Every structure is written in C-alpha cells, then in structure tokens.
Amino acid sequence: MADIRIENLRKEFGSFVAVQDSSFTVHDGEFLALLGPSGCGKTTTLRMIAGLELPSSGKIYLDGEDVTFNRASARDIAFVFQLFALYPHMNVRRNIGFPLLSQGMAKAEIRQRVEETARLLQIDHILNRSVSGLAGGDRQRVALGRAIVRRPKCFLMDEPLGTLDAEFREIMVHELRELHNRIHATTVYVTHDQHEAMAMADKIAVMNHGVIEQFGTPQEIYAKPATMYVADFIGSPPMNFMRFTSGLKSGDRSILLDGVDVTVPEIHQDMVESELALGVRPEHIRFSDASALRGAVYGSEYLGTNQVVAVETPGGLIKARVPANRSFQIGERVGLEFNPAKLALFDCTSGRAVP
C-alpha cells in the first residue's frame, strides 16, 4: 500500500480555475474523503491523482515517487466510478477476475484471488450467478471486488454510492468502512454527503470553489471549523452564527449580544470594529429562564430522541437541539444559554476562525 501526496496541485480549464494550489498527504492505509458541493473540484482532484487529467501545475507523489506525468495505467491505482459498468454477459466470478485475466495471470491464481476477494466481500455464495439478475448492493460488491482483486496501491472512489437509494447507501457506507478496516488500502473518496464523509473517513478535506478550506479528522472539522463555510457545511442543522461589531481587545472574554453580556472564547489579537460572528452548534444551546438572551419560538422539528427548536432572536434565527420531553408553543418566549467552552468566533470579512 502507499502514501499519496499532492503538492500545490492546480487545474485550469481555460481561464477557469477548477482546483487551486491544493496540498495534502494521505498516509498509508488512511481513508480521505474529499467533501464539498457540486462543482467545487473534487472529481478533478481525483482524476489528476488517477492520471486521467493532467495538472496545470503542481506535483503528485505515490509512495514518494513523482508520478505527475505517469500514465494512469502506470500508477497501480484502482478507480471506482459512480456508475459501475459490470459486464452483463459474464457471471460474478468472471466479472471479478477480469482485471487479472487481462494482466495475463495464470488461471489457478485468478481462481484463488477471486475466491479470496469474494469471501472478503461476503459474495462467495453468488460467484456463479449472472450479474444481470443481481440486486443493487450485490452489484456494488461485485464492482468493489473487481477493484480490489488487483490489490492496487490505492483506491480512488468517485461518489460510488451516488446511485443507491438511502437505505442501501447506509448499508454500503458501513460495508465500505468495514472493508477498509480489513484491507487498510489507502483511499481517496469523493462525496458531497457530509454523513458519508463523517462516517467513513479518517481525514476529510472540505473543498469550496477549488480550494481546500480545511483538512483534518472528522472530529477536528466538526469541533474546530477553520472557516464559516466549513462550519456551515458540516452538521445538521449547521452551526448558528450571530453577527456583531466587535469591541474585543486581546484577552477579552465577553461581548454584548442584543445588549446581553455573553462569555466568549479568549482571542489573542485586538479586533475592535471588526465584523465578527459568534458560532454555536445547535446541541450547545440550552433553554434557561435565567438567561437574559431571549427570543420567540418560531417552530420545532421533533426527532424522536431530541428536537430542533428554531428561535427568532434580535440577532436572527437560532436553532437549538434540545431534549424532546417538552413541547413549545409558537411565539413562546425562551431564554438561550450557550456552552461557553464550545463557542467559536469568526471574522466575517475573511470568513476565517479568529485565532
């Protein structure tokens, strides 16, 4: 298996910059999710790593070797696309074994490898079935089998679950992670779905307009978003932002929000007269009659174990995730209390977290 390193990787299509000077390392055996909305440059980044697209500038290293200008076929990478084109006239065994056959491997070895792969994916009981009659999940497993049977250095996957319905998707997310735990293949996985990325990846690169806004573990990205964009993209409902004009000096610990004193994280630079936003995740808000920061309930969404209550405040709509054991009337006045240890501050001009 292998490390993948990209350095200042850039792709221009005419005057349009699809990927801007991106750098990261995926360590041997790690699972990286490239996460972001449609058009942010995920697929282009993946295609450059695969050798299907030539970068405008920058470098790609596979296991320390510069492969930037190597052909795709010389990279020992398996690319798993969104739409799995299985060979419909072949059975499962021949579909999985096909890449080995085209490499010229001996029949006995192919047989052994295919059976090993099928056991790993728990499809050894359908090896002689035709692929055309298979259900969605089994088809995905056959396609995965075809990708892993070669034992490539790494896997690149472009929204491989994109065509599945929600129920199957959840099963396959679990299976893909299980498979990864067993074979520890270095993987780069493209998705626009934050739940998939959070559930599967060791590291996530959050992309926006061709730029990697943050690279980190799912926990880091959730707890310490580097930008308002990341804070907004991850989490459902996303982080709440309350904008204010700052009078904060280095070392200050409180701000006035709607005329109410609120304790905030200590900042380490003067930010007087900057437009800032206080960020708080819905689960770090609780309702307290004692709080002077008040608003009117706008609506609520019951989620079984808890509920999300939207509250209209002078600073905007705030969503709080609170226990479901109490119901709220529309218009009811509530006091909001934030967990001070979990608050974040952002500079609204740059969109970046305040250091």
Sign of CA dihedral 337, 341, 347, 352: negative
| Site membership for ligand ATP, residue 41 (CB under 6 A) | yes
Backbone angles phi, psi at 79, to 5 degrees: -105, 120
| Site membership for ligand ATP, residue 38 (CB under 6 A) | yes
Question: Integer distance in angstroms from the first to the last C-alpha of the chain?
Answer: 37
Question: Cβ closer to ligand ATP: 37 or 299?
Answer: 37
Please pick, from the candidates 4, 9, 32, 43, the single residue that binds ligand ATP as defined by CB under 6 A. 43
Question: Cβ closer to ligand ATP: 5 or 42?
Answer: 42
Please pick, from the candidates 8, 13, 263, 317, the single residue that binds ligand ATP as defined by CB under 6 A. 13
**What 8-state DSSP symbol labels residue 283?**
G
| Site membership for ligand ATP, residue 139 (CB under 6 A) | no
Question: Cβ closer to ligand ATP: 54 or 303?
Answer: 54
Torsion, Cα of 151, 153, 159, 160 (10° steps): 0
Question: Cβ closer to ligand ATP: 203 or 319?
Answer: 203
Q: Please state, in angstroms and rounded to a whole number, the distance separating the CA atoms of residues 307 and 286.
A: 12
Please pick, from the candidates 2, 4, 6, 18, the single residue that binds ligand ATP as defined by CB under 6 A. 18
Q: Segment near ligand ATP (CB under 6 A), from 35-43, 62-70, 221-229, 272-280? A: 35-43
Name the residue with the smallest CB distance to ligand ATP: 43
The three-class DSSP label of residue 272 is coil
* Least separation in angstroms between CB 193 and ligand ATP: 10
Question: Cβ closer to ligand ATP: 38 or 128?
Answer: 38
Q: Segment near ligand ATP (CB under 6 A), from 1-9, 33-41, 322-330, 340-348? A: 33-41
Q: Segment near ligand ATP (CB under 6 A), from 1-9, 13-21, 137-145, 322-330? A: 13-21
Please pick, from the candidates 6, 9, 40, 143, the single residue that binds ligand ATP as defined by CB under 6 A. 40
| Site membership for ligand ATP, residue 44 (CB under 6 A) | yes
| Site membership for ligand ATP, residue 311 (CB under 6 A) | no
| Site membership for ligand ATP, residue 6 (CB under 6 A) | no
Q: Please state, in angstroms and rounded to a whole number, the distance separating the CA atoms of residues 197 and 211.
A: 18
Extract the tokens encoding 267: 């900042």
| Site membership for ligand ATP, residue 36 (CB under 6 A) | yes
| Site membership for ligand ATP, residue 192 (CB under 6 A) | yes
| Site membership for ligand ATP, residue 15 (CB under 6 A) | no
| Site membership for ligand ATP, residue 55 (CB under 6 A) | no
Extract the tokens encoding 72: 């795709």
Please pick, from the candidates 39, 133, 299, 314, the single residue that binds ligand ATP as defined by CB under 6 A. 39
Task: Name the maximum alpha-carbon separation found in the chain.
Answer: 78
Q: Please state, in angstroms and rounded to a whole number, the distance separating the CA atoms of residues 136 and 175.
A: 14
Question: Cβ closer to ligand ATP: 40 or 278?
Answer: 40
Q: Please state, in angstroms and rounded to a whole number, the distance separating the CA atoms of residues 25 and 15.
A: 28
- Interface with ligand ATP in residues 214-273 (CB under 6 A): none
Q: Segment near ligand ATP (CB under 6 A), from 39-47, 145-153, 240-248, 339-347? A: 39-47
Tokens 């002078």 map to which residue? 314
Q: Rg of the chain over CA atoms, in angstroms?
A: 25
| β-bridge partners, 29 | none
Instruction: Answer whether 347's CB lies under 8 Å from 270's CB.
Output: no
As a 3-state breakdown, the chain gives helix, strand, coil percent values, each rounded to 5, of 30, 35, 35
Q: Is the peptide bond before 314 cis (omega within 30 degrees of 0)?
A: no
Question: Cβ closer to ligand ATP: 16 or 325?
Answer: 16
Instruction: Answer whether 146's CB lies under 8 Å from 81's CB.
Output: no
Instruction: Answer whether 239's CB lies under 8 Å from 249's CB.
Output: no
Interface residue list for ligand ATP (CB under 6 A): 13, 16, 18, 36, 38-44, 192
